Structure 1
Amino acid sequence: MHTEPSLSVVLAGGGTAGHISPLLAIASAVRDARPDARLLAVGTPAGMEARLVPAAGLDLATISRVPFPRRPSLDLLRLPGRLAGAVRQAGAILDEAEADVLVGVGGYVCTPMYLAAWRRKIPIVIHEANARPGLANRVGALLGGQVAVAFAGTRLAGARHVGMPMRPGISGLDRSAARAAARTALGLDPERPTLIVTGGSSGAQSINRTLTASVGALAGAGIQILHITGRGKAVHDADGAPLAAPGYRQVEYVDGMETVYAAADLLLARSGAATVCEVAAVGVPAVFVPLPVGNGEQALNAAGLVAAGGALIVADTAFTPGWVRDHIIALVQDPDRLARMSASSRQLGIRNADRRMAELVLEAADHDRSASPKAASPKAKSVKQHGRKR
């Protein structure tokens, strides 16, 4: 007598924390909904996923990174061969995993994974995090994938607006209840007005420079600052010593952004998709300084929250010590305005996107299995030749 094989879900994406965080949140929600499901993540060997995915307890297989050149070059001539090789690697992983469904969140790894799944008629479910969709997810949508988006205005045919999958520790955060303990944990005074500045996991040199020049004015106004500089990007004074001032503290990294969101009266940050969506979910007032490179997606990410009154936005070139003095000091000292921003932000926040994505994934997989049930087969072997890690 044959028994029904357990559900096999393959999740592809990586390169940056902005792709990996929603992937892990979706994986966790799928596991909660279907504890019997076999989960496998697929990334590239050089991306952040090589560290973050195994650390989250999820198996990882890797395929070759195939960047798409933006202009004519030798790399463009090599692209067809490289892509074909990556598609073969992707297909071998899907076959050995006996995948029922492929979930893609964007990044270099997704295009070959989408192509390999399409050839095998494996259903594809896509999550697009940015307001302006990336190339890989545009390809996946053209191949017939079901599309979910974090921002309502994202232009992908047939897209459903589900929000940004995030960890329950963030989506369920009560900032008021957690504030005092969060400030203590971060080495801050629980009672002082608090500005927290971050450029993301890799830091932001222009933000760091402006803040370094503004510490005196901020401290003089009674504002304490936690400056998350980014790994390897500590800031120094004119003598080369780590910058120090009354009420100012710098760290390279904070593990667990919910602590940051709870502690901050105001957050100053880049406007990556995950940051914007998390800010809205928890209702922390924010000032966004969009990354000035790329295709302008960071400014688009922030546009809805800014229009709703939950955040301010300033161009990277306009973010100067004078702007800090004229705008941020007065804002941090105005609790009524901060409260209005927080309320406006939370009205836009979506806090169940992980569960909504899990429902889409299970619906796609179960529909495919009922239409063409698989024969029972042994559990997939370890994909050593493709670099599976745990």
Structure 2
Amino acid sequence: MRVVLTGGGTGGHIYPALAIARQVTDAEPGSELLYIGSNRGLERELAAKEQIPFEAIEISGFRRSLSWENVRTILRFVRGVRRSKQLLRRFQPDIVVGTGGYVCGPVVYAAVKLGIPTVLHEQNVIPGLTNAFLSRYADLVAVSFPESSNNFPRAKRVLYTGNPRASQVVHADGARGLESLGMRLAADEKLVIVMGGSRGAKAINDSMIEMAPLIAAQPSGLKFVFITGQPYFESTMSKIREQLDAWPEALKVVPYVHNMPEVLAAASLIVSRSGASSLAEITALGLPSILIPSPNVTNNHQEANARWLEREGAAKVILERDLDGRTLYDAVCRIADDAIRFEHMSRMSKKLGKPDAAEAIYEAMCGLIRGQNF
């Protein structure tokens, strides 16, 4: 199979594309891949780590207010479509897969104009601007949440597949995750992972600083791994030390985790933002979660994601404006110490998970290439 992948800006768009790439090469060794992105996002770096050839186009996003910059964006889009057609004619893909972000627009649009089968993947409940625009042209829109289907009224076909990131965590080795952290868990202990995204989140960090004395005073039974994000690590460590007479064995603070699937596989409970990739991983593992949506995202989509899990009984949502150390600590304890609630949330989380998401998308791609009528 020859596949062009496109999607960029943040990891939330790029990691699903890379998960699809991995599924394709696992299913069909010898497949050829090309990633088309921009030089502004993380996609060049992340594609290189996966040894996927990369080509760049220049593109920018529309501003939501009237601006002359939008005229320049239209011109960049036209040039981006022209450049994308050149790349697609040269590579001759069987299919083009877009996972959102502005760079996805001209690439998928060019593929449609050239008659190449196209798949979009939408990670969030509320679709991004680019995927909403492209959905009327693409052959298939794959969605991570069943509620998303109603948000693509002009799509030819919408398929609920889940997020392909989920497929990467289900086979991860939790024992290796614990070993990488230098931790051991007794049979009756639960591991709580607290994270704010790859670069961290100040509000979550501040609440964890306030939580540290509560963790130090707690009875045994819970251990915490707190992932600060590299930019916040030194200052956060300093502030936590100021709160403590002695460092508690139950608390591990790290700036970043490179083997996140393995660490998540060792967890009992997750405290996290509610980005789509994180929720895919959490539900694939059947983990209860406390979700703190970022208020600084387009269309407030993280709260929409989080509320879906909460309605289904898999998560507790705490808005950032209501967050502090005591509130978060009490929420953790109420879930971890209540065996019936913990088991119910675990079961509902697992029910929502789509661990075969990458395979489902791959099978849909194969069907489109074979010309199957969905």
The normalised TM-score by structure 2 is 0.89
Q: 1:198-257 CA deviation, whole Å, 9 max, x = no partner?
A: 111121111111111111112311432211111222114359989983132211111122
Specify which of 316, 336, 341 is matched with residue 312 of structure 1. 316
- Matched residue type, 2:247: A
Residue 71 (str. 1) matches residue 65 (str. 2) = yes
Match of 1:376 in 2: none
- Matched residue type, 1:258: P
Structure 2 unaligned segments of length 5 or more: list them. Answer: none
Q: Distance in 2 between matches of 1:278 and 1:257?
A: 10
Match of 1:350 in 2: 354
Deviation at 1:14, TM superposition (A): 1.7
For the residue of structure 2 that corresponds to 1:295, the secondary structure is helix
Structure 1 unaligned segments of length 5 or more: list them. Answer: 1-6, 369-390
- Matched residue type, 2:212: V
Match of 1:327 in 2: 331
- Matched residue type, 2:161: V
Match of 1:265 in 2: 268
Specify which of 13, 28, 32 is matched with residue 26 of structure 2. 32
Is the Cα contact below 8 Å between 2:212 and 2:240 reproduced in 1?
A: no
Residue 221 (str. 1) matches residue 244 (str. 2) = no
Q: 1:145-166 CA deviation, whole Å, 9 max, x = no partner?
A: 3111010010213311011112
Is the Cα contact below 8 Å between 1:114 and 1:140 reproduced in 2?
A: yes
Deviation at 1:172, TM superposition (A): 3.2
Is the Cα contact below 8 Å between 1:42 and 1:60 reproduced in 2?
A: yes
The normalised TM-score by structure 1 is 0.86
Residue 136 (str. 1) matches residue 130 (str. 2) = yes
- Matched residue type, 2:192: L
Output aligned runs, 1:1-390, within 5 Å.
7-154=1-148, 155-156=151-152, 157=155, 158-166=157-165, 168-173=167-172, 179-191=174-186, 192-222=189-219, 223-234=222-233, 235-238=236-239, 245-246=247-248, 247-293=250-296, 294-367=298-371
Q: 1:296-347 CA deviation, whole Å, 9 max, x = no partner?
A: 2111112232122211111111111231243223323334432221112111
Change (3 A) 1:242 1:84: farther
Is the Cα contact below 8 Å between 2:283 and 2:353 reproduced in 1?
A: yes
- Matched residue type, 1:165: P
Q: 1:330-389 CA deviation, whole Å, 9 max, x = no partner?
A: 323334432221112111111111111111112222329xxxxxxxxxxxxxxxxxxxxx
Quick one: higher RCO (CA 8 Å, sep 6+), 1 or 2?
A: 1
How many aligned residue pairs are there? Answer: 358
Change (3 A) 1:144 1:258: closer
For the residue of structure 2 that corresponds to 1:232, the secondary structure is helix
- Matched residue type, 2:283: A
- Matched residue type, 1:320: D
For the residue of structure 1 that corresponds to 2:85, the secondary structure is helix
Match of 1:371 in 2: none
- The percentage of counterpart residues that share the same residue type is 33
Q: Distance in 2 between matches of 1:85 and 1:55?
A: 28
Is the Cα contact below 8 Å between 2:224 and 2:252 reproduced in 1?
A: yes
Is the Cα contact below 8 Å between 2:167 and 2:357 reproduced in 1?
A: no
